Chain A
Amino acid sequence: MVLKTEQYVLNIGPLHPSTHGVFRLRATLDGEVIVELEPVFGYLHRGLEKLGESYTYKQSICLTDRLDYLASMSNNFGYVLAVEKLAGIAVPERADVLRVVFAELQRIVSHLVALGAFVNDCGAFQTPILYMFREREKILDLFEMCSGQRLTYNYMRFGGLSQDVPEEFMPALRKFIAEMDAHIDEYDRLVSMNEIFLARTRGVGILTAEKAINISASGPVLRGSGVKWDLRKADPYSVYSRYEFDIPTGTVGDCYDRYQVRLQEMRQSVRIVRQAIEKLPEGPVTTKVSLNLKPPAGEAYAHVEAPKGELGFYLVSDGTDRPYRWHVRAPSLMNLTALRDLCIGWKIADAIVIFGSIDITMGEVDR
């Protein structure tokens, strides 16, 4: 007797714990195996690009906080660089170095969330993520000292920072940096060689290097596939060329490689911060910039290596105090292009792992 079977469609999300935000997957299944997958998004679309056209340049800094809300400092950084390029504003050295410190701390925060949530998705329910959030808290405390905020910092300004770091910041940062390497070893021991974790991630969701480049992937997704491309080295902005650090890359391009790249990048970020605070120059952190900044008519594109990949801002100025066009090159959106092809042929439980390994924030996908 032949058993009659048929494919069926399963909606995952938009409100589901493992979709990391309001993200929906429309999966067509044959039993447990995915035969077609359509990512559906837009649930968090706030029209930030349109809104940015009616805000002055300075007002838009707070909009960038709401892109990748787990990495607001990096978003601030990319945006102020673009406006500085457009308007030709110079940045004092101390502010430059502090920006790098904040961007690297932010990378650690973002990777801690990414890895914690990813390991959670793989079945290590809640234990590793709490270890990772323990260190995340310490960095959020540091950010709070400077900006008064724990998530949306709105801390960088054209020509520097909104204010210098307070007195208690440096001792706390030094203490954190002294301890962080040992904590990364701790995560490594806890997760990296766990048999269940290896079974769930090794060889799963393989993204080849050619494919990764072709889909415009960037950040740990691209580097996990073995492409040594990091804007901090390839196109050094700010003062990154001063510091020594390595670019960790994967070999196979599976979920495990993407995990390892993020883990190793945290070590490199600690290394950069350590070098930066060793030689932190004295001096001002702000420049006098008109509140009603009117950059000359023209356009500028600036990009930074944000935790999730290449974050770019394309600005068009018509000479008024508001941008004519304000476009964000969002790494989360581009990295998602890979999802469909990576998931087809895998089981539904693997799709959750593959999705987790890409690491997206809906605020940035939808804008």
Chain B
Amino acid sequence: MTLALSGEDLAAKLGPKFPESVIKTAKDSVLVKTGDLLAVASFLKSEPGFEFDFLCSITGVDYKEYFELVYQLTSIKNNQSLVVKAQCRDRENPVMPSLTGLWQGADFQEREIFDLLGIKFEGHPSLTRIFLWDGFKGFPLRKDFTDGT
């Protein structure tokens, strides 16, 4: 059975290295500061005992006041899973760090979020629309999206 790390557990383990990074813990996830996301992710990927080598899934959710990105990480080596979240409060020009440097699997997923939610990923090698055409106006998965009809 894959061991799902609880938010408290993870926060406690992140504590010594990243004392300021964790904003909130929940039953099965931690919310980290957006500025520290890349450092935390890099730590989780390479630190012995964690070794989260597999970026399972990235989901972007529009909560109206902010965007939330949900990263599901899996360690194939240790058969563990955890969820890291990060928020972006800027609706006009939302920018998040790209994780493509750590996991190439982030490539298409970040492009999908850029396409449908309009979040830019800094450091992504080719951030272009993936499903919709280049001239498409707006970002359909935003809650305030209207198609103009």
Contacts and interface: CB of A to CB of B under 8 A. Distances in A.
A216 B109 CA distance: 10
Contacts of A314: 57, 59, 70, 72
Contacts of B95: none
B43 interface: no
A49 B116 contact: yes
Interface string A320-335: 0000110101000110
Interface string A281-311: 0000000000000000001010100000010
A213 interface: yes
A183 interface: no
Contact of B76 (A45, A50, A227, A337): A227
A215 B116 contact: no
Contacts of B62: 325
Nearest to B77: A213
B57 A214 contact: no
A187 interface: no
B56 A329 contact: yes
B50 to A, nearest CB: 15
B132 A45 contact: yes
Interface stretch (A86-94, A228-236, A345-353): A228-236
B2 interface: yes
A214 B79 contact: no
Given A50-B140, A216-B103, A229-B76, A333 B61 contact: no
Nearest to A49: B141
Contact of A214 (B81, B103, B109): B103
Contacts of A121: none
B46 interface: no
Given A301-B72, A337-B105, A213 B54 contact: yes
Nearest to B115: A42
A337 B105 CA distance: 7
A225 to B, nearest CB: 12
A324 B106 CA distance: 23
Contacts of B1: 235-236
Given A45-B132, A50-B140, A229-B76, A216 B2 contact: no
Interface string B58-88: 0101100000001010001001010100000
Interface string A38-67: 000110010101100000000000000000
B105 A327 contact: no
Given A213-B76, A301-B72, A327-B59, A42 B105 contact: no
Given A41-B130, A49-B141, A314-B57, 9 more contacts: A41-B131, A42-B130, A42-B131, A214-B105, A227-B76, A310-B56, A312-B56, A312-B57, A325-B61
Interface of B: 1-2, 53-57, 59, 61-62, 70, 72, 76, 79, 81, 83, 103-109, 112, 116, 129-133, 140-141
Nearest 3 A/B pairs, CB to CB: A216-B105, A42-B131, A235-B2
18 contacts: A41-B130, A41-B131, A42-B131, A49-B116, A215-B103, A215-B104, A215-B107, A216-B103, A216-B109, A234-B76, A236-B1, A310-B56, A312-B72, A314-B72, A325-B61, A333-B109, A337-B108, A367-B131
